[in-house]
A = this chain, B = another copy of it.
Amino acid sequence: MRRLMSAAVMAAFALPGVPAMADELRETALGLFATVPARVEQVRGAPVTAERVELGRKLFFEPRLSRSHVISCNTCHNLGTGGADNVPTSIGHGWQKGPRNSPTVYNAAFNVAQFWDGRAADLREQAKGPVQAGVEMNSTPERVVATLKSIPDYVAEFAGAFPGMADPVTFDNMALAIEAFETTLITPGARFDRFLGGDDAALDATERRGLQVFIDSGCAACHNGPNVGGQDYFPFGVVERPGAEVLPQGDKGRFAVTNTADDEYVFRAAPLRNVALTAPYFHSGQAWELEQAVAIMSTAQLGTEMTDEDVRAVTAFLHTLTGTPPVVTYPILPASTATTPRPE
């Protein structure tokens, strides 16, 4: 069962409609959102060690995890372009198009669950999906393990990252290493976070007004928490269902996970951190401009036609969610050997 509105959001709705002073706005915002931390030490009980992060960095960029030897995690979650591929739906094995828009990997560790429908509980489960999906990397756990075991440097790195295990090169450990690396893919220092931290000048008057509208008009009912979204599931079109180009009828969202009629066209609220970098928008990837996406949301979810001025202000606020990505060195991957499965 999904929560439709948290107590904090209810409280926010009780605010007067006039623009709040910066302190008052900050106090309200702190009840709804949270800053992105500079570092994550563990993820769902698993330690984020330097060895796992280093191994995960290699695996994230490793095209040999795909059957073709051409597609890596970074192909669709490109760290240079907002952690996503910025096309409507991803292109995978054989140039097949995937069913949904690729979500950003940045700050994904802070989502309640992974994928648009939350079908993976965490990043370690998520990482196994695209590797096996026929329309994405089209490999198998057996093939991945055979590949990694055929490369002595990988065997040594797995042993170092998972000490004490008799057989550390496993599909599960591949996923744990990728998850560890992904927990370093966080973007602290957004102007919004500096505002939350007490810096009034971090947001200008329009951006502060956009934040106020974002809270008052109900956007924050779904888009809240550290990722300004990604915390819970909600129907797309709660008030008015968008057209089929934005909400294709064939994709019933979380219904495919829960088989509950209540979950038809239900999706995880999109996390809005770095949203200015990840057009096109929605699970269908059919809105190319952020203002357009805000306007569609206001009609579909809030049942209010936001004024153009409000749409512009909210969009200006959303641009303040762009943080500072980590510096990632492109990994030099160990060479294949005679026993490495060949690309197909």
Q: A: which residues have CB within 8 A of B?
A: 58, 61-63, 68-70, 75, 78-82, 85-88, 91, 94-95, 276-277, 279, 288-289, 325, 327-333, 335-336, 338, 342-343
Contacts and interface: CB of A to CB of B under 8 A. Distances in A.
B289 A338 contact: yes
B61 A86 contact: no
A88 B70 CA distance: 12
Nearest to A70: B91
A180 B32 CA distance: 48
Contacts of A78: 63
A68 to B, nearest CB: 6
A329 B332 contact: no
Contact of A329 (B62, B94, B330, B333): B330
Q: What 5 pairs across the A-B complex have the smallest Cβ distances?
A: A95-B95, A80-B333, A328-B330, A87-B343, A330-B330
A292 to B, nearest CB: 10
B336 A86 contact: yes
Nearest to A93: B95
Given A85-B69, A85-B70, A95-B95, A332 B325 contact: yes
Given A68-B87, A80-B330, 10 more contacts: A69-B85, A69-B87, A70-B87, A82-B335, A88-B343, A277-B335, A279-B336, A325-B332, A328-B329, A329-B329
B94 A80 contact: no
A329 B330 CA distance: 6
Contact of A332 (B80, B86, B279): B80
Contact of A276 (B82, B88, B335): B335
Chain A interface secondary structure, helix, strand, loop or mixed?
A: loop
A177 to B, nearest CB: 16
Contacts of A327: 329
Contacts of A288: 338, 342
A342 B88 CA distance: 10
A254 B289 CA distance: 48
Contacts of A338: 288-289
Contacts of A62: 80
A162 B88 CA distance: 34
Contact of A80 (B61, B79, B86): B61
A320 to B, nearest CB: 14
Contacts of A75: 70
Nearest to A62: B80
Contacts of A87: 68-70, 343
Contacts of A335: 81-82, 276-277, 279
A51 B58 CA distance: 28
Contacts of A279: 335-336
A198 to B, nearest CB: 27
B68 A81 contact: no
A185 to B, nearest CB: 11
